[in-house]
Structure 1
Amino acid sequence: MFDGLQRVWETFFDLDLIGQTLPTLLRVGLLNTLLLAVLASLIGVVVGVVIAAGLMSSKVAVRLPCRVYVDVLRGLPHILTVYLVGQGLPLAGVTLFGENTYGYAALAIGLLEGAYMAEIFRAGFQSVEKGQIEAARGLGLSHLETLRFVVFPTGARRVLPPLTGQFILVIKGTALVYLLGLTAGQREMFAIAQDTAVLHASLSPLVAAGLLFLAITVPMTYAVNAWERRLREGRQDIAADTASDSANDRDRALAPQGTG
């Protein structure tokens, strides 16, 4: 039993190898991971807003393709989406980024995350009170103007916490792009760990990369939870104040008036 535990320790927790891997992970992998996550998130936000608007359209010809996009991208294995975009587009002659695999990697993850962000945006936009929409239409704003000046700004503020949570998933999703064969300077943390693990026949570098992922995502998760809790408490306070004001107005209206 102890021999087995020792083999597990040497395979997954070789401290010397972890120490050798960490500098490269921090110097190259961490920067590329965060940069890739930011680029993919920007693509995902743009795609998500457009698809969310399409999902709320009253026209079936607009709504149906958007629904198919969301269902297909969310239903396919993520690894297949990365392959289809990262290798399929260049094979089809769509050379958006030339020979730069990094661009295709960001696009693949961005399109994938756009399907998830679309549902987040849709929920946020549909949470806008009908009274605000009716007031905007009453002021003469068109449907598109109402979406632009009322629904989108209000809904976007409400989805910031879940979007931040989705960004955490994007960071973890960057581990899939090692399949596309990035160059040495483009490798994110998991790709560096994978190459080092193969070189030394040890899984300890992957554990080192996992620890760095934890160091990034766990604090962000707690921050998002605290943010959501603060926003929820703020909305409850506003609702309580509104109810109190309404009760006071009702009491004043029902109070007997002096005859003077």
Structure 2
Amino acid sequence: MRKSTKRRLTRGVLYAIFIAAVVIVLVFTDWARIQDQYLRIDIAREQFPQIITIALRNTILFTIIAFAGGLILGIVMALLKLSSIGPYRWFATAYVELFRGLPALLTIFAMAYVLPIGLGIRVPFGQVGAGLVGLILVASAYMAETIRSGIQAVPKGQTEAARSLGMSAGRTMFWITLPQAFRIIIPPMTNEFVLLIKDTSLLFIAGSTVFTKELTTFARDGLSINNNGTTLVMAAMLYLLITIPLTRLVAVFERRLARAR
């Protein structure tokens, strides 16, 4: 038997197995029970408009705040890590390794409870503010490494040309190196934004009020009240509505960057 024939037979068998599995699932799944437990129209109607005007709005708002704060702090830590001054470099390295090594949930918990109870330090804007500080610390550690790698990927000739024209080291970094570095790191930074959208679900550990719930907390409360998973399905759909276009955007950026190179 020829290799091409064997490959076609193998592909045919694999397709047949997949189709058979799908048919078995469709035939033996209790669709009435799934609809009753996860797709109740009456419960879905009850969640509007709060699931959009409160939960989705807060999820997007918290993501933007955490990303902006993480980006600013990440730039600072990346520059410190590239510093020729040892103590600055050591501090930035310790910071990055600490907050990349700790679970985000533990960091948020520490900001929301350990600091106020143990040290008497209270973060502005209450528990939500403390949770956001935790997210910012974790995000900045990951962003710092991404930004550092982007800076180091900029050809040294660019820096040398700017310095030869009389630009100071600071001006060269902020007007020549960083803009080119950010062009390189757009895809991973967009991925970081997507991860932050999902990580806002961890803010539940810090506590929330009626008006500060994000999608996951809102869905969990709906599950507790109605003893039904419809709100979880709605929250999942809203998460996908945000994250899928962003992940597609990352793929577009990566293809354009590959062509540019």
The TM tier, using the shorter chain, reads 0.7 to 0.9
Structure 1 range deviating more: 10-19 or 181-190: 10-19
Q: What aligned pairs does 1:24-173 form with structure 2 within 5 A after superposition?
A: 24-91=50-117, 92-97=119-124, 100-173=126-199
Paired amino acid for 1:170 = L
Gaps of 5+ in 1: 237-260
TM-score by length of 1: 0.82
Report the CA distance between 1:9 and its aligned residue: 4.8
RMSD of the TM alignment (CA)?
Answer: 2.1
1:208-227 aligned within 5 A: 208-227=234-253
Deviations 1:35-70 (A, max 9, x none): 111111110001110111111122321112211211
1:201 corresponds to? 227
The sequence identity of aligned pairs, in percent, is: 34
Whether the 8 Å CA contact 1:82–1:105 is kept in 2: the answer is yes
On the 8 A contact 2:143/2:189 being kept in 1, the answer is: yes
CA contact (8 A) 1:132 1:150 kept: yes
Instruction: Name structure 2 gaps, 5 residues minimum.
Output: 1-26
Deviation at 1:159, TM superposition (A): 1.9
2:66, 2:135 within 8 Å by CA — same for their partners in 1?
A: yes
In 1, Cα distance between the equivalents of 2:98 and 2:35?
Answer: 41
Q: Distance in 1 between matches of 2:251 and 2:48?
A: 29
- The number of aligned residues is 234
Task: Normalising by structure 2, report the TM-score.
Answer: 0.82
Higher normalized contact order (CA 8 Å, seq sep 6+, divided by chain length): 1
